[in-house]
Amino acid sequence: MKILSKIHGLLARLGHILQSPVLLVIRLYWGWSFIQTGKGKLQHLDKVTDYFASLHIPAPHINAMMAASTEVTCGLLLMLGLFSRFATGALICVMCVAYATAEHDALVGIFKDPDKFTGADPFLFLYASVIVFCFGAGKIALDRFVFKDEPV
C-alpha cells in the first residue's frame, strides 16, 4: 500500500505541474477555433442568417451577428486567458443554443445515443469551454494579474 501512496503522490505532483500548460493549450487551440468559426459566420452572414431562419431562431440576423461576435470576442479572451470565466460562460450559452437548435436530435438523444451527442459539432467547443470555466485559465493567463487575490 505504501508504494501505491508514493506513486499516487508522484502522479498528483505531475498532474499539478501539467495543469497550467494543459489549460494554456486548451485555451489557445479552442480560443483560435472559436475565433475562426465566428469570423466565418461574419464573412457569410447572409447564409448564416438563412440557416438560423430555417431553424426557426427568432430575429435570425441579429442572433447570427450576436453568436458570431460572441465567438470572436470570447475566443480572443479565451486565448489571452482574460476574463476567462465570463468568456467561457458566454461561449457555453452559445453552444447550448447550438445544441438546442441545430443539434436538437443529438441533445434529446443524449442517453439513448451518446455517440450522436458527442459527435455533434458543438460538443468539443462546449467541452473545452466547460473545462476552462470549471478550472480557470491556469497560471499562464492574464486573469492571474487581473484577479490577484482569487485563484484562477
List, for residues 35-46, the tens digit of each pLDDT value.
Answer: 999 999 999 999
| pLDDT reported for residue 151 | 59
List, for residues 123-143, the tens digit of each pLDDT value.
Answer: 999 999 999 999 999 999 999
Task: Indicate if the pLDDT at residue 50 is higher than 90.
Answer: yes
Rounded to two decimals, what is the model's pTM? Answer: 0.92
Residue 90: which of 132, 62, 61 has the closest Cα?
Answer: 132
Taking the C-alpha atoms of residue 106 and residue 99, their distance in angstroms, rounded to an integer, is 7
Question: Quick check: 132 and 24 in contact, CB under 8 A?
Answer: no
